[in-house]
Amino acid sequence: MQRNLGFSQLRSLAFNNTPPNRCETDIVQNLPTEILIQIFGNLMPTNLMRICDDDEFFIHEIERTEIRLTCKRWNHILISLISDAYYDIRNIYKHKLEFVVPPPTLKNLDIIDSRYLHVNNCDPHVFYDPYNWNSESQINEWLNNKNLNHVKKLYLYGCMDLTADGFSNIFDQLIDLSIINCPQITEKSLSIMLKKLKNLESLTINTDKFFNSQLNELIEVFSPKLCNLKLIIPYTFHLKQNICFQLMDLCSLPKSINSFVMCLQIQSYENQIFTSTPPPNTLKRLDVSNCFFFKNLFDIPKFLTHLTVSYPSFPRDTIKLPSTIEYLNISGYIRNTLHSSSNCPYYYCKKWIYTFPINAPFLHTLILHMYASPTLLFSSIVRFADTLRYLDCKILLLNTIDISTCEAPCHIGRQFQLEMIQKLKSLVELRFHCRLEEKEIDLFPTTLKKLWLINGFNNQSIIDYAYRKGIKVFELRQSC
């Protein structure tokens, strides 16, 4: 029978790294490792350790501990399976869990301070008030005192007292680093860190200031492997709702960076407007889907392969998108109606459709949510029938739309879309936002393997019929 343990005893057990050997039977000792892993996998997530206020995840850790205490071999197997960990540093400090020992094979580590997890939306300037920086989470000491020799990916959020000193023992090994809403990681401290992050390949950051040419030069010299950069623009607090123009000097981006994401920390079309210099032609992937540009215009490189953009942004001086494009994600959804008239959404989407390249031999993914004419949109997609493998296409509706043009809400252009899908010879995955009849699955290309349907139309009969055709059906949540 299991004993009922108190919370303090459970804590001690959960993070005890030297369990006694209580396994004596040859049957248990000689079970193949593969079978043990399958058994453990049916009981809990074996690759993830999560320490937070969520009772469910804490129960998983207790279950893991009880299995570990069975014998040393089981303990070794379980510990070696954990590659990802998620820690709430506040919870660790609150419950006196400073002795939490990360698994020795840990590769991906997420650390948050739950006190500031949601403050970004309700009171964002809290992060920039020095009064709040002394959070006593002891994050620097924790990072320096734990064995994190195999950690390659580190995500830090809302750690108010985190400084560059916390990275002293792990600079050389980090490949992927995200630092969000950690206000003591400033432009100055980031300059120091970049000189030591020699193997860094991906960086997500928001600092007290924007990236400047000096930081880009440091990346060029000291972090030559950095190829993915995500820059989160800090919240700018204004007592008055004055428009703030901000220049992003993208032309000085290091040539090693081929993927760049720029986004506002808080979506706002009201007071933060960007102007930018053209990015270098070495840039292959660009995401500006959460930005508002001056006159709605931004620049794209000549050899772009991946583009993610949203209303009202549009490329400057572009007749056609480059034929090198492989991934295209355009959202025409209007988040702020103050900046648009009733004709703007259709005009915006029509402009984008006319920029589709005549020939795009590498295009494999299209994600298009638009206020568009079904005939115009779907006829434009057909030209990519030979290469398109993933399609998520949705006709958006306005309150003023002519109801006679659609069968029912979210069904607009359904017949045109079915006819178009029939012609996509290489399609593997489809997100279908309309009503679908069982027999209409026969119209889909034989290459289709994954089908996403709105829950209301996702009945067991359709699921079974699709399965017999070799297609797996998934639930599609309705969203814009």
pLDDT of residue 2: 45
d(CA 261, CA 69): 46
Nearest to 23 by CA among 71, 74, 77, 72: 71
Q: Is residue 238 part of a domain?
A: no
Domain around 340? 305-480
pLDDT of residue 263: 86
For the chain, the distance separating the N- and C-terminal CA atoms, rounded to the nearest angstrom, is: 53
**Structural domain count, the chain:** 2
Nearest to 236 by CA among 116, 118, 127: 127
- Among residues 39, 58, 81, which one ends one of the domains? 81
Residue 62 in tokens: 């207790």
Q: Are 189 and 165 in contact (CB under 8 A)?
A: no
Instruction: Count Cβ atoms within 10 A of the Cβ of residue 32 and give its class: 0-12 exposed, 13-18 middle, 19 or more buried.
Output: exposed
d(CA 373, CA 412): 9
Summary count for the chain: helices (H), strands (E): 14, 20
pLDDT of residue 352: 94
Angle of CA points 335, 117, 228, to nearest 5° = 70
Rg (alpha carbons) of the chain, rounded to whole number: 26
pLDDT of residue 347: 87
- Among residues 64, 81, 98, which one ends one of the domains? 81
Q: Is residue 465 part of a domain?
A: yes
d(CA 330, CA 158): 31
Sequence-separated (6 or more) residues with CB below 8 Å from residue 18:
none
Structure-token match 């017949």, residue found: 415
d(CA 327, CA 471): 23
Q: Is residue 455 part of a domain?
A: yes
d(CA 312, CA 346): 11
Q: Is residue 281 part of a domain?
A: no
How does pLDDT run along the chain (480 residues), one tens digit per residue?
A: 444 444 455 455 445 555 555 555 566 667 888 888 888 888 777 888 888 766 677 777 777 777 777 788 888 888 888 899 998 887 777 766 655 678 888 999 999 987 776 555 444 555 555 555 555 667 888 899 888 999 999 999 988 889 999 999 999 999 999 999 888 888 889 999 999 999 999 999 987 666 777 888 889 899 999 999 999 887 665 555 667 777 888 888 999 999 999 988 765 555 678 888 899 999 999 999 988 888 888 999 999 999 999 988 999 887 899 999 999 999 988 765 454 555 677 888 999 999 999 899 999 999 999 888 888 999 999 999 999 999 999 988 765 444 434 444 445 678 889 999 999 999 999 999 888 889 999 999 999 999 999 876 678 899 999 999 999 999 987 654
Q: Is residue 97 part of a domain?
A: no
Task: Count the residues in the chain.
Answer: 480
d(CA 88, CA 94): 10
Strand, helix or coil for residue 440: helix
d(CA 324, CA 303): 6
d(CA 84, CA 45): 10
Query: What CATH number does the domain containing 461 carry?
Result: 3.80.10
Strand, helix or coil for residue 284: coil
pLDDT of residue 115: 76
Q: Are 255 and 226 in contact (CB under 8 A)?
A: no
Q: Are 190 and 162 in contact (CB under 8 A)?
A: no
Strand, helix or coil for residue 220: helix
Sequence-separated (6 or more) residues with CB below 8 Å from residue 339:
269, 312
- Among residues 81, 109, 133, which one ends one of the domains? 81
Type of residue at 344: C
d(CA 322, CA 300): 9
pLDDT of residue 154: 97
b/e map of 227-252 (b: 16 or more CB within 10 Å)? bbbbbbbbbbeeeeeeeeeeebebeb
Strand, helix or coil for residue 356: coil
CA distances in angstroms from 84 to 30, 79, 201, 361, 455, listed in the order given: 28, 11, 19, 38, 32
Q: Are 68 and 79 in contact (CB under 8 A)?
A: yes
